[in-house]
């Protein structure tokens, strides 16, 4: 898509140049066009590395006031200019609606509670203005990195990922990153920024400086550490460490360059083209988007059987729901946990063009314990870093804050997430049950009283 857009822009520029020369020869007086042409030289160079970075310059060229494009150009060229203009107006409109500020990507080593964090340790080649995309932000350890390629193929927009890499897991994590960047798809280098963190009690033996991480290309005939990992090989398991899920969630989210972020779990694959369709929707700025309440945009989540394909479109998803190869997420594990307001209606509604708000829900009533995954912004409350993945309920306290702050949950219609194939069934795990009980006590006795002080209380809200 990036290449397409680039070649479209180049086509438009060439046509504008031709038109200019024609006019110049006939009238011999077009000073404003000369200025535009000079600018076109500059912005063409910028476009080579930075897509639509030079928004205002490109627009002057794509929509020149002195030339009648519709009259002189071929229909292909006018379609090209239409396309450029459409994207530019979407970005401009998103910028206007959100008043967002750009964020730079600066590598830094910094403490965060009991953890050392290597922020922006390996950075993506492309950078984004705050209005130009949506960032998928997520967390993992190296044993989950096989999800990155299928995720990228569907997302094709920036990803910010925080990796937990204590002790000797660090070296395996670096090798996994190197393999993904050098031996899989070029989308990894293009879009993914990696952050790494570990406990101050489990610092790796060696940590290269961020600009000397990969001195040599990876030998792609080697099997990367992230394939076929058994968890007892991992340092984390040998030392009996918990997985600090919310440290990772927060690090990844805070480092996203774009105003809109999808804070998700790496095994949840999005339906294609969400990022562009979502910005198109934001740019319309109508209906429930105009509400004064703070807003997040939840996505429906599904799981599919181990040997099934991940559905690309809502129509395919509907067929799979129909024949039982797809199910709402955790239907067998915990039916109430992920139920979404108006879920039945959503599942029967036909797919339409583009993306819209299907229903505005609240986290109250039968949805009081809802842990939605949603597109939100940097303004939403972060996740409590005292909670671990093993202890469960790791998004509950954030959900409480959203409820008290009177958030609207604008559920999207044609977009959804699908878990990596394989339907989860309940397995007893005494250690996790014990940790979950401890977490419930921590939330009840310590965190909830804090939240009541910080955010207040509201009828109908609960953790
Ligand atoms: C541009 O061309 C269109 C279609 O031929 C015409 O309707 C319009 O009047 C022209 N505008 C100018 C400024 O020449
Ligand atoms: C890459 O790894 C393969 C398999 O271990 C090995 O045979 C080969 O010599 C290595 N290549 C280089 C350039 O190190
Ligand atoms: C990983 O394990 C699977 C099944 O156990 C096997 O088919 C596959 O070849 C293994 N891959 C590697 C790279 O060892
Ligand atoms: C996603 O967008 C690309 C480029 O606009 C298009 O070619 C592709 O068909 C879209 N895919 C889906 C599933 O909408
Ligand atoms: C279920 O539906 C999907 C999508 O139409 C199809 O690909 C799959 O083969 C079907 N599976 C069964 C068991 O009918
Ligand atoms: C959805 O589309 C199908 C086939 O195109 C049609 O038969 C059905 O009535 C539609 N359902 C709704 C709720 O519009």
- Alpha-helical regions (H) of 323-357: 343-348
Identify the residue whose C-alpha is closest to ligand 6 atom 14.
350
pLDDT at res. 54: 38
pLDDT at res. 250: 97
- What is the secondary structure of 165-229 as a DSSP string? --TTHHHHHHHHHHHHHHHS-THHHHHEEEEEEEETTS--S----GGGS-SS---TTSPPTTTT-
Is residue 228 lining ligand 3, measured as CB closer than 6 Å? yes
On whether both 88 and 110 belong to a single domain, the answer is no
Identify the residue whose C-alpha is closest to ligand 6 atom 2.
350
On whether both 26 and 134 belong to a single domain, the answer is no
At what angle are helices 396-404 and 448-455 packed, to 10 degrees? Answer: 30
Q: Which residues line ligand 2 (CB under 6 A)?
A: 219, 221-222
On whether both 308 and 339 belong to a single domain, the answer is yes
Evaluate whether residue 273 is within a structural domain: no
Contact in structure between 174 and 122 (CB atoms under 8 Å): no
Residues 6+ apart with CB under 8 A from 144: 226, 266, 267
pLDDT at res. 12: 63
Ligand 3 atom having least distance to the Cα of 223: 13
Evaluate whether residue 175 is within a structural domain: yes
pLDDT at res. 55: 38
Tell which residue, 184, 113, 104, 172, has the closest CA to residue 140: 172
On whether both 85 and 119 belong to a single domain, the answer is no
On whether both 58 and 43 belong to a single domain, the answer is yes
As a whole number of angstroms, the distance between CA 405 and CA 399 comes to 10
Which ligand does the CA of 222 lie closest to? Answer: 2
Identify the residue whose C-alpha is closest to ligand 2 atom 3.
221
Identify the residue whose C-alpha is closest to ligand 4 atom 4.
1
On whether both 88 and 107 belong to a single domain, the answer is no
Which ligand does the CA of 71 lie closest to? Answer: 1
Evaluate whether residue 248 is within a structural domain: yes
Kindly report the pTM of this predicted structure.
0.81
Is residue 344 lining ligand 6, measured as CB closer than 6 Å? no
Range(s) of the domain holding residue 174:
102-266
Which ligand does the CA of 230 lie closest to? Answer: 3
pLDDT at res. 98: 97
- CA–centroid distance, 228 to ligand 5, in Å, is 29
On whether both 327 and 251 belong to a single domain, the answer is no
On whether both 250 and 355 belong to a single domain, the answer is no
- CA–centroid distance, 149 to ligand 4, in Å, is 18
pLDDT at res. 340: 87
Evaluate whether residue 272 is within a structural domain: no
Strand order from edge to edge, sheet including 300-304 = 268-270, 416-419, 300-304, 326-328
Which ligand does the CA of 350 lie closest to? Answer: 6
Identify the residue whose C-alpha is closest to ligand 1 atom 5.
71
Domain boundary at 266, 301, 316, which? 266
On whether both 175 and 231 belong to a single domain, the answer is yes
Mean pLDDT in each 10-residue stretch from start to end of the chain (463 residues)? 60 65 52 41 38 38 42 66 80 96 97 98 97 98 97 97 98 97 97 98 96 91 93 93 96 98 97 96 96 96 94 96 92 72 94 96 86 96 94 90 96 96 83 93 95 94 89
Ligand 3 atom having least distance to the Cα of 228: 1
On whether both 455 and 319 belong to a single domain, the answer is yes
Which ligand does the CA of 68 lie closest to? Answer: 1
Evaluate whether residue 281 is within a structural domain: no
On whether both 305 and 378 belong to a single domain, the answer is yes
Is residue 221 lining ligand 3, measured as CB closer than 6 Å? no
Specify the number of domains making up the chain.
3
Pocket test for ligand 2, best of 221, 223, 225 (most atoms within 8 A of CB): 221
Neighbours of 254 (CB within 10 A): 18
Pocket test for ligand 1, best of 19, 63, 71 (most atoms within 8 A of CB): 71
- CA–centroid distance, 107 to ligand 1, in Å, is 52
Domain boundary at 65, 82, 98, which? 98
As a whole number of angstroms, the distance between CA 295 and CA 88 comes to 24
Contact in structure between 340 and 407 (CB atoms under 8 Å): no
pLDDT at res. 163: 98
Identify the residue whose C-alpha is closest to ligand 5 atom 12.
323
Domain boundary at 51, 68, 98, which? 98
- CA–centroid distance, 82 to ligand 5, in Å, is 39
pLDDT at res. 34: 39
Is residue 350 lining ligand 6, measured as CB closer than 6 Å? yes
Tell me which long-range contacts 91-94 makes (C-beta under 8 A, separation of at least 24). Answer: 91/52, 91/55, 91/129, 91/131, 91/132, 91/279, 92/55, 92/131, 93/282, 93/283, 93/285, 94/131, 94/259, 94/279, 94/282, 94/283
The 8-class DSSP code of residue 420 comes to S
On whether both 94 and 110 belong to a single domain, the answer is no
């Amino acid at each position: 898509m990036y290449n397409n857009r680039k070649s479209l822009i180049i086509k438009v520029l060439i046509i504008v140049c031709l038109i200019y020369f024609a006019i110049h020869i006939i009238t011999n007086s077009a000073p404003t066009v000369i200025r535009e042409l000079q600018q076109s030289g500059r912005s063409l160079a910028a476009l080579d590395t930075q897509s639509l970075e030079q928004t205002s310059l490109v627009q002057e060229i794509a929509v020149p006031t002195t030339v009648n494009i519709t009259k002189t150009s071929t229909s292909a060229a006018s379609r090209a200019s239409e396309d450029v203009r459409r994207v530019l107006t979407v970005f401009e409109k998103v910028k206007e609606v959100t008043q967002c500020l750009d964020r730079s990507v600066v590598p830094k080593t910094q403490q965060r509670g009991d953890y050392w964090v290597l922020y922006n340790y390996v950075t993506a080649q492309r950078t984004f203005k705050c209005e130009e995309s949506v960032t998928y932000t997520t967390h993992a350890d190296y044993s989950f990195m096989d999800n990155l390629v299928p995720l990228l193929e569907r997302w094709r927009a920036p990803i910010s990922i925080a990796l937990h890499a204590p002790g000797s897991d660090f070296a395996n994590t670096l090798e996994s990153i190197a393999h993904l960047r050098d031996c899989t798809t070029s989308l990894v280098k293009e879009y993914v920024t990696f952050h790494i963190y570990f406990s101050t009690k489990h610092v790796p033996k060696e940590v290269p400086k961020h600009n000397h991480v990969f001195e040599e290309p990876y030998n792609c005939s080697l099997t990367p550490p992230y394939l076929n990992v058994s968890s007892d090989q991992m340092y984390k398991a040998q030392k009996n460490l918990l997985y600090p899920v919310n440290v990772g969630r927060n690090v990844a989210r805070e480092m996203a360059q774009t105003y809109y972020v999808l804070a998700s779990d790496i095994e949840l694959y999005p339906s294609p083209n969400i990022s562009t369709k979502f910005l198109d929707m934001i740019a319309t700025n109508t209906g429930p988007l105009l509400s004064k309440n703070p807003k997040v945009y939840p996505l429906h989540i599904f799981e599919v059987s181990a040997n099934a394909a991940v559905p690309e479109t809502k129509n395919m998803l509907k067929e799979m729901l129909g024949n039982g190869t797809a199910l709402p997420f955790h239907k067998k594990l915990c039916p109430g946990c992920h139920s979404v307001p108006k879920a039945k209606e959503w599942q029967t509604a036909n797919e339409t063009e583009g993306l819209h708000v299907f229903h505005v829900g609240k986290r109250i009533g039968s949805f009081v314990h809802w842990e939605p995954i949603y597109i939100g912004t940097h303004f939403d409350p972060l996740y409590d870093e005292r909670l671990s993945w093993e202890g469960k309920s790791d998004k509950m306290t954030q959900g409480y804050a959203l409820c008290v702050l009177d958030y609207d949950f604008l559920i999207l219609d044609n977009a959804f997430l699908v878990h990596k194939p394989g339907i989860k069934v309940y397995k007893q795990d005494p250690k996790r049950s014990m940790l979950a009980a401890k977490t419930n006590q921590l939330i009840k006795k310590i965190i909830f009283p804090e939240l009541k002080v910080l955010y207040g209380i509201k009828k109908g809200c609960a953790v």
